[in-house]
Amino acid sequence: EAKASDFATWRIFDPAMRNRKRERREMERDLRTALENNEFELFYQPFVDAGQSAVSGFEALLRWRHPEKGLVPPGLFVPLAEQTGLIEAIGVWCLETACLEAASWSSDMTISVNMSPVQFKSTRLVADVDRALSMSGLDPRRLQIEVTESLFIDESENILSILQDFRKRGLTISMDDFGTGYSSLGYLSRFPFDKIKIDQSFVRDLSRPENIAIVRSVIGLSRALDMKVLAEGIETREQMDILIREGCLEMQGYYFARPLPASELPRMIADITARWNGDLRIQRQGR
């Protein structure tokens, strides 16, 4: 029921709200034709393995090249794509594009694809993955799926069975943004993830002892549960050094490379490879 107080609020905020509603409507209209107009692109950001001094894989990150607004980051349109159900078709496009791209590489590096919890509501998700694999010819062991804790907010056997289906095919599953979601840790014991990605919010300020403590315990947890661990959002040499010291050798962040279009990947890999003897050189101390 509308109350007088609601009405007052509405009147005060009316112009701003109308603008926001119009913006949303326009974005939804544009999003509906974005796929057929070929406006989506995948950018790729490397996973760097300091133990091997090598790039170990890439995460595919979605971008929308809007005809007027330019390059739109996923944070601005993925939520709307989820609310409208468009994420299902967009997700299929991401899977197919990422698999085709990775199948064209001369190395057997991992390609990691983000999946929204909404995609897990589709009965076709496993079939979509199968199609992306068969059309691209990609070895399933090279395909990694990134999910967030929000996937486990409600207990669902269905979600576990889809993850098992992925696993049966040889895919690996990463827990993204670990430590930021609203979720219990119980799912970690019910489903064995291959990798935990430590969220960048903990990496951002490692001068805070609290964040070091969290990072250290996540690394310990991943070891105890026999999962790999990767830290996100490394922007400085100092952060890299702390993570290596704490035992997390796989990393991702602007310090190594920003997400870039596929055409830039050979140059990006060459650049990082050259840096192993320069600013990325690891001081190995006898311990």
Binding stretches for ligand C2E (CB under 6 A): 45, 61-62, 73-75, 78, 94, 114-116, 146, 176-177, 200, 232-235, 252-254, 259
In the complex, the smallest distance separating the C-beta of residue 10 from Mg ion, rounded to whole angstroms, is 33
Q: Which among 122, 113, 116 has a CA at the least distance from the CA of 81? A: 116
Percentages of the chain per state (helix, strand, coil), in multiples of 5:
50, 20, 30
Specify the residue, 110 or 200, whose C-beta has the smaller distance to ligand C2E: 200
How far apart (Å, rounded) are the C-alpha atoms in residues 94 and 81?
Answer: 13
Rounded to a whole number of angstroms, the distance between the first and last alpha carbons of the chain is 68
Comparing CA positions, the residue from 199, 193, 166 lying closest to residue 180 is 199
Query: Between 116 and 144, whose beta carbon lies closer to ligand C2E?
Result: 116
Give the contacts of 69 (CB within 8 A, at least 6 positions apart). none
Residue placing its CB nearer to Mg ion in the complex, 30 or 72: 72
What tokens were used for 140?
């399933």
Residues of span 205-244 touching Mg ion by CB under 5 A: 232
Nearest distance, CB of residue 234 and ligand C2E, angstroms:
6
Is the CB of 101 or the CB of 232 nearer to ligand C2E? Answer: 232
- What's the CA gap between 225 and 124, in Å, rounded? 31
What tokens were used for 111? 């390609």
CB 200 within 8 A of CB 138: no
C-beta separation of 35 from 90 below 8 A: yes
114 near Mg ion (CB under 5 A): yes
Query: Could you give the CA distance from residue 179 to residue 198 in angstroms, rounded to a whole number?
Result: 7
Taking the least distance from each CB to ligand C2E, the nearer of 57 and 233 is: 233
Give the one entry of ligand C2E, Mg ion, none that residue 259 binds, where binding means its C-beta sits below a cut-off of 5 to 8 angstroms depending on kind. Answer: ligand C2E
Stretch that binds Mg ion, among 27-35, 44-52, 144-152, 181-189 (CB under 5 A): 144-152
Q: Which does 262 bind (CB under 5 to 8 A by kind): ligand C2E, Mg ion, none?
A: none
Instruction: Pick one of Mg ion, ligand C2E, none as the site partner of residue 94 (Cβ within 5 to 8 A by kind).
Output: ligand C2E
Question: Is residue 176 a contact point for Mg ion (CB under 5 A)?
Answer: yes
Using CB under 5 A as the criterion, which residues of the chain lie in contact with Mg ion when the complex forms?
A: 114, 146, 176-177, 232
